[in-house]
Chain A
Amino acid sequence: MSTRPMKLAVGPVLYLWDRRVALDFYAALCEAPVDIVYLGEVVCSKRRLLHKEDWATVAGALAAAGKEVVYSTLALIEAESELATMARIIDRAPALFEANDMAAVQHAAGRAFVAGPHLNIYNAATLHWMAAQGARRWAAPVELPLATLAELGAARPDGLEIEVFAYGRLPLAFSARCFTARAHNRPKDECGFICGDFPDGITLYSREDQPFLTLNGIQTQSAAVQAATDLEALRAAGVDILRLSPQSQGFAAVVAAYRAALDSNAAVATLPAAALPGGYCDGYLRGEAGISHAG
């Protein structure tokens, strides 16, 4: 069982927000009760959430406000240009970076990094191998049950922190195909950044109107928002850090709810009502279908 209080991390923005909205979001995070902020683009190499110089300014402001800044890298890397961008981000990252593809692990060459949620780590042998590559923190794959996480936590390499995707639409899959462009009958190469019109992605419904998935460019997410609220179970599993994935509405209230629950050492965090049509889910943590919700 972890003896230190759990930290709060804000994950990378997974959507294409307007630059001004993104800058305001990060300015607000400087004042927010979070410990760690992940910056950078994980989903689509064509997107430019912020200008290159903006990222440095934002990182500087967050660091000055006492936040730990981590640079995330792309999850699906196909082109040479994407490898070059990834290498540049890693080479210039002042502190930790987050690897979301084995290419980043290869490029790290022993430097310290966060093993991101898109690396497949499911057992102790792989976790130890990843630590030997330089991983200092492990953001677990979203489908891993909390019981497995606890087992791996108990056998973890010395000093390795464990982070869980606690809040947000679950990043479930990546494809070569851009589903947002496809839904608008546009070729991927002429997408016109249509994803910028959907600050929380596009909800995909079954034909009987059940919110099921979310289209976010080449990424497919859950429609439901994962809500890991059983803090006692998370602590017992040895989780060190809770990742909250940015959403466009009501995010500050979610941060405040987790902060209050952690500060009062509460067993359960009480979240505001879900702002998105899919409601909440938490099945993965219990080893069930991710979409299910026990609360």
Chain B
Amino acid sequence: MTVVNARARAGRDHARMSLELVCPAGTLPALRAAVDHGADAVYIGFRGATNARNFPGLNFGAAEAEAGIAYAHERGARVFVALNVYPSPANWPLATATIDCAARLGADALILADPGLLRYAADHHPTLRLHLSVQGSATNWRALELYRREFGIQRAVLPRVLSVAQVSRLIGRTAVEIEVFGFGSLCVMVEGRCALSSYATGHSPNSQGVCSPAHAVRWEETPDGRQSRLNGILIDRYAPGEAAGYPTLCKGRFRVNDAVFHALEEPTSLNALDVLPSLAACGVKAIKVEGRQRSPAYVGEVTRLLRRALDLCADSRRGATGDWTPPPDLLAALDALAEGRTHTLGALHRPWQ
């Protein structure tokens, strides 16, 4: 394991362009893996229905969060706490208690979506950095400026709907730092504006912090092949030998008119490596990796590969030509870890839309 110590990290910071690498951690071992492999910041969630990766066996208790924050800080990395559901009245006390806990433990920023919670955090913890979650669904500078004016947000994570040109124009109109997704599962819908999961299962990202939840999944072996259902709705059917993926409902095969196909999106991952220099040049502050539900091994490997990509990209931007092609071995290594073992630029590339 390559342990990146604080001194090496500081020297590298000095030398490279300023794209930060923000990595996911669903557990303390994953947090350590991300920090050890070169994450500038790690984002975590607390247990319970307060964050958008509310999965069994995942997320932090207060003691683990404290240990994780200490581990990161000793090594020059920061920890962001995501609390990005829209709490119902019943969950409000838990949500505000979670904010207080994150502040007490010394989190470097809170990642919030709900205006009520942003108000609470701004009022009760005025020195704590606030980041607008991707679930906040801000896709234009006016929305960002509203959150800045009202709650003093310092950073926002953009929904995966904008092209690079649109990201660039948006950055020109707002003082809010911009973080964009660089790698991981691809939401095809605007985050924070998708109720497909609750329509099918009663549980949604906004309300419960889950999408296509595991408790609603059923696998069946049939003469026609393996089938996946979500709350009884057939999401996909696989021919013998065909690779079967998790039945995220927007990535199933459905019939539209007379054709059966991936009508919304194929099982594929987002990978923004091709456009890293453009993102850096237009002023994007940080690249975010999706995947708090992933294993420590996955998080460590993806962090290592993206660290290398960001450093190589920074080197190429300092070079005379500025030419950039992501190294094929790097792309292949990331594809091997990706959903569907393939990748897309998603909305960053206009023709995807």
Chain A interfacial positions (CB closer than 8 Å to B) = 75-80, 82-83, 101-103, 105-107, 118, 120, 122-130, 141-143, 148, 151-152, 155, 170, 172-179, 182-183, 187-189, 202, 204-210, 212-213, 215, 220, 222, 283-284, 287-291
What are the 5 A-B residue pairs with the smallest beta carbon separation, nearest first? A125-B116, A103-B142, A176-B161, A102-B143, A126-B116
Q: List 29 A-B contacts (CB under 8 A).
A: A101-B143, A118-B193, A122-B87, A125-B114, A125-B117, A125-B120, A126-B86, A143-B199, A143-B204, A143-B206, A148-B88, A172-B199, A173-B193, A173-B196, A174-B189, A174-B193, A176-B161, A176-B190, A183-B263, A202-B256, A204-B263, A206-B255, A208-B234, A212-B254, A220-B264, A289-B198, A289-B201, A290-B195, A291-B199
Shortest CB-to-CB span from A125 to chain B, Å, is: 3
Residues of A within 8 A of B88 (CB): 122-123, 148
B194 near A172 (CB under 8 angstroms)?
A: yes
Q: Is the CB of A202 within 8 A of B257?
A: yes
Which residue of the partner chain B has the closest CB to A290? Answer: B199
Range for the number of chain B residues in contact with chain A: 35 or more
Asked if A126 meets B352 with Cβ closer than 8 Å, knowing A76-B190, A120-B192, A170-B195, the reply is no
Q: When each residue 179-195 of chain B gets 1 if its CB lies under 8 Å from chain A and 0 otherwise, what string results?
A: 00000000011101111
Q: In whole angstroms, what is the CA distance A141 to B237 when docked?
A: 32
- Specify which chain A residues have a CB less than 8 angstroms from the CB of B193 in the assembled complex: 75-76, 118, 120, 173-174
Chain A residues near B234: list those with CB within 8 A: 206-208, 210
Residue B18 lies at the interface, judged by CB distance under 8 Å to chain A: no
**Docked-complex contact A178 and B353, CB < 8 angstroms:** yes
Bound CA–CA A202/B258 (angstroms): 11
Rounded to whole angstroms, the CA-CA distance of A76 and B143 in the bound complex is 11
- Least CB separation from A79: chain B residue: B166
**A151: nearest chain-B partner, CB-CB:** B89
Selected contact of B119 from candidates A107, A129, A177, A213, CB within 8 Å = A129
* In-complex Cβ contact of A83 among B142, B195, B199, B260 (8 A): B142
CA gap between A289 and B91 in the complex, in Å: 19
Q: How far is the CA of A127 from the CA of B89 in the complex (A)?
A: 11
Residues on A with C-beta less than 8 A from B256 are 183, 202, 204-205, 215
Contact of B257 among A120, A178, A183, A213 (CB under 8 A): A183
Q: Judging by beta carbons under 8 Å apart, are A143 and B195 in contact?
A: yes
For B240-254 the 0/1 string (1 means CB < 8 A from A) is 000000000000011
CB distance B143 to A204 under 8 Å?
no
Which chain B residues border A80 with CB–CB below 8 Å?
Answer: 169
Q: In whole angstroms, how far apart are the Cα atoms of A217 and B151 in the complex?
A: 34
Q: Which residues of B contact A291 (CB under 8 A)?
A: 199-200, 233
**Interface contact A77-B347, CB-CB below 8 Å:** no
In the complex, whether B51 has a CB less than 8 A from a CB of chain A is no
A28 to B324 alpha-carbon distance, docked (Å): 60
Contact of A78 among B139, B199, B233, B253 (CB under 8 A): B139
Cβ–Cβ contact B202 & A287, under 8 A: yes
B146, A177: Cβ atoms closer than 8 Å: no
